[in-house]
Chains A and B, each alone.
Chain A
Amino acid sequence: MLLELRDVSARYGRIQALHGVDLHVDEGEVVALIGANGAGKTTIMRAVSGLLPVSTGSVIFEGQDITRLRADRRVARGISLSPEGRGIFPGMSVKENLDMGAYTRRDRAGIAADLERMLTLFPRLRERLGQPGGTLSGGEQQMLAVARSLMSRPKVLLLDEPSMGLAPKLIAQIFDIVVEIRRQGTTILLVEQNAHQALWVADRGYVLETGSVVRTGSGEDLLDDSSVKAAYLGVA
């Protein structure tokens, strides 16, 4: 098991956002996290990346308890989040944003090779290398966010709604890239509103409702599950 959440609860002040969540991600898997708005998907991502301290329970990564580890240290351990809202540094160029992704690394040759790999994966970014991140279109920013989070060479990549606000064609492209990243060997935990496509590319999925896991299974099983269909796939 690469990543595991054991009975994790988390709160924002008095609002409890997660109620004893159990979840795990094995090496090489793509795991999808689906649920309605406000279900707690982003909160799980924040707990895994260390942005939000959990109130009870533990986060285990590669067999080690990282519950109390600061967010910046988790990056060096191999956890990388492409956050909801993208978090592009507006005053930095595309190139500098990508360099920020490799902030914890010192292997210049490896970084240069990965930069090249990202620019091959996202040719759009190559055309815009010198442009300030803040002036990219939404879709370009999303590609930059995903590419940047890969620049740390994560063992697990956390993607929080990578298709948000994108045109259907770009969404398809993002999912193609998810498949490609996985093929290249990166484990992925994926949060999506596009439940259908997410479950389609995922090995397994978790369905979240008001801060609790209500269903889990393989991507195919969840796609076939009648209650999931009714609630998230728009099929009665």
Chain B
Amino acid sequence: MHFSEFWNDIGELTVTGLSQGSIYALFALGYTLVYGLLRLINFAHSEVFMVGSFAAVGTWKALGLDQNSQTPVLPVVLLLLVAALLVAALASGATALLVELVAYRPLRHRNAPPLAFLITAIGASVVLSEFVGILTHRRPQGVPPLVEPRPLVTIAGTQITNLQVGTIALALVAMFGLDVFIHRSRWGRGIRSVSQDPTTAALMGVNRSQVISLVFLLGGLMAGVAAVMYDLKIGGTRYDAGFALGVKAFTAAVLGGIGNLRGALLGGLCLGLAENYGAGVFGTEWHDVVAFALLVVVLMFRPTGLLGESLGRARA
């Protein structure tokens, strides 16, 4: 145990935890949205994220930058980031739509049992990850040095880097936007209606297939944004990048209450914090142990997660 160091580092651990947690939260939304609508765990969502992380690297490469390039001037960096965010979000969104169309829709039309969906979900995940693995010879792809981490603000003696501020801010903006979309727009009402009662939703004129596609697309867009932030944080990506992080993001979704949008945010942030605090107290090798121990403990006391399951569904 390293309690004295822990107290010294708590500010830094908190900031690291929150920025890591923001990535989990954005990534977790895809799991939670799809689960809330279809009671389906879309295992291929980890690859939706992975495709986004490659799309960002590909965008920068196409614009002439690789990991050996010089850091461009700030306006150029911002443009490069915006471009990568757009391309990655669209690439992840398109991948999610494709997975739905190819792997799930045919099963849905045949009224397949839940287990069939589970198997195709795992299958789709493996196919995508292996496909990219083969294309890239399983080698990591480096990210150009766009954002050199340096302290941007200092709060209570803790320095927060530009990248951390950007990650947390972007995640909050994206999630706020999604929340408003789901709770205020006509399309959002359509999504909530299908999740609450698909039969009555059809009687209102809601096209269920369209709503399902929309939900996959939204989850993909969010994963794409998370993937860009991941690229910048890690400095590279690999064909199996989605897998390890996907397990964490899924954990975050369950922790917050799968099916619940705000739960994904809460679950992601809690998980990020728990991991980093755990590493601070017990040592870095305990990082993941603490994360999953937290999940087990929370589920023992709150089986439906911190906020319970709901896509606008009435709480029981």
Contact = CB atoms under 8 A, between A and B. Distances in A.
Interface string A45-60: 0000111000000000
Contact of B313 (A71, A75, A90, A148): A90
B192 A92 contact: yes
Contact of A51 (B192, B202, B314): B202
Nearest to A133: B314
Interface in A143-194: 148-149, 152
Contact of A72 (B189, B197, B205, B310): B205
Nearest to B207: A72
A87 B199 contact: yes
How many residues of B sit at the interface, in one of the four size bands? Answer: 20 to 34
Interface string B125-145: 000000000000000000000
Interface string A79-96: 011010001111110001
A16 B207 CA distance: 28
Interface in B178-205: 186, 189-190, 192-193, 196-197, 199-205
A181 B196 CA distance: 29
Contacts of A80: 203
Given A91-B312, A91-B314, A132-B314, A103 B190 contact: yes
Contact of B203 (A51, A96, A134): A51
Interface in B207-248: 207-208
A87 B197 CA distance: 8
A76 interface: yes
Given A75-B203, A91-B313, A100 B197 contact: no
A91 B206 CA distance: 17
Contact of A91 (B196, B199, B200, B205): B196
A75 B312 CA distance: 24
A101 interface: yes
A96 B314 contact: no
Contacts, number: 73
B205 A89 contact: no
A161 to B, nearest CB: 15
A100 B189 contact: yes
B204 A75 contact: yes
A197 interface: no
Nearest to A158: B203
A89 B206 CA distance: 13
B297 to A, nearest CB: 29
B189 A92 contact: yes
A9 B35 CA distance: 36
A92 B312 contact: yes
A89 B203 contact: no
Nearest to B313: A91
Interface of B is mostly: helix
B218 to A, nearest CB: 19
B192 A103 contact: no
Contact of B192 (A83, A91, A148): A91
A76 to B, nearest CB: 6
A26 interface: no
Contact of A90 (B190, B196, B199, B206): B196
Interface in B147-196: 186, 189-190, 192-193, 196
A87 B201 CA distance: 9
A51 B312 contact: no
Nearest to A104: B205
Given A72-B207, A92-B312, A103 B189 contact: yes
A83 B201 CA distance: 12
Nearest to B208: A72
A89 B190 contact: no
A103 B201 CA distance: 9
B205 A75 contact: yes
Interface string A19-61: 0000000000000000000000000000001110000000000
Most buried by B among A71, A76, A99: A71
Nearest to A132: B314
Most buried by A among B193, B205, B207, B313: B205
A83 B205 contact: no
A26 to B, nearest CB: 23
A90 B314 contact: yes
Contact of B310 (A75, A91, A101): A91
Given A72-B208, A134-B314, A89 B193 contact: yes
9 contacts: A51-B202, A70-B207, A76-B205, A92-B189, A99-B186, A99-B189, A100-B193, A103-B186, A103-B193
Given A50-B202, A91-B314, A149-B203, 11 more contacts: A75-B204, A83-B200, A87-B197, A89-B200, A91-B192, A91-B312, A91-B313, A100-B189, A100-B206, A103-B189, A152-B205
Give the 4 A-B CB pairs with smallest separation, nearest first. Answer: A75-B205, A87-B200, A104-B205, A90-B314
